[in-house]
Amino acid sequence: DGGITQSPKYLFRKEGQNVTLSCEQNLNHDAMYWYRQDPGQGLRLIYYSQIVNDFQKGDIAEGYSVSREKKESFPLTVTSAQKNPTAFYLCASTDSNQPQHFGDGTRLSIL
Amino acid sequence: DQQVKQNSPSLSVQEGRISILNCDYTNSMFDYFLWYKKYPAEGPTFLISISSIKDKNEDGRFTVFLNKSAKHLSLHIVPSQPGDSAVYFCAAKFTGGYQKVTFGTGTKLQVIP
């Protein structure tokens, strides 16, 4: 059963800590994306990757980093430089002009 | 700068009636539009799309209308069902390659039994 798996579903971080959110897809999609959802603001693009070993900043990349070492995986690191990290994070993937498929998200909270 | 706008944060409709969700965009270069449906604590799922060369696309109970001159699109759900209760996101993109998708802020639809 093809899809996108995000883990964990809930994540807590202490102030000043980096944390990495996992995103794995078995859809054989070339492109992968990370979005952040805040109340009343819809989905905002953090980073995207069109191909392995290549990625681009989205609209709100500050305080985040990504890697794309494998086609299936696109982990997102929320660094201590991100001043307001509490949000719902969504990973998506797509192939060519097809609609994006989304994972079920990770909710990050600051302790 | 919000290029895709959904000005109604919420909408309540009686079961069996029509639900109309609206979306406006500012960038005339957008040529492909999508609607996604999202339940709480889940990722959005693709619902229906329309290319700018069309003004209507229908899929079962769901119809999307596009008015390019007004830079406006709408999603009609007929008849509305309680299971349709969710947040609906309008999105827009340029066709070709992997250009990013710009999402609206969402409209929360509640279908009352």
What distance lies between CA B63 and its chain's CA centroid?
Answer: 10
Predicted confidence at residue B100, as pLDDT, reads 79
CA-nearest residue to A93 within chain B is B98
Query: Does the pLDDT of residue A96 top 80, yes or no?
Result: no
Q: Is the pLDDT of residue B97 over 60?
A: no
On whether the CB atoms of residues A27 and A95 are closer than 8 A, the answer is: yes
pLDDT in tens, A44-93: 999 999 999 999 999 999 999 999 999 999 999 999 888 889 999 999 99
A107's enclosing H/E stretch is strand A106-110
Q: What percent of chain A has pLDDT over 90?
A: 77
* A25 in contact with chain B, both atoms CB, cutoff 8 A: no
Chain B: residue whose CA lies nearest to A4: B43
Q: Which of B109, B59, B113, B47 is nearest to B84 (CA)?
A: B109
Task: Please report which confidence band the pLDDT of residue B98 belongs to, taking 50, 70 and 90 as the band edges.
Answer: low
pLDDT of B1 over the 80 cut: no
| Interface-testing mutation among A97, A98, A104, A108, with chain B (most B C-beta atoms within 10 A) | A97
Cross-chain CB nearest to B103 (options A4, A42, A96)? A42
Per-residue tokens: B14: 């009686």
Give the residue among B36, B20, B53, B98 at the shortest CA–CA distance from A49. Answer: B98
Place of tokens 């494998």: A70
Instruction: Tell me if B48 sits within 8 A of B62, measured CB to CB.
Output: yes
Which candidate in B101, B107, B108 is best for mutational testing of the A interface (most A CBs within 10 A)?
B101
Distance, in Å, from the CA atom of A98 to the CA atom of A96, rounded to the nearest integer, reads: 6
pLDDT for the residue A97: 74
Euclidean distance between CA atoms A78 and A17, whole angstroms: 9
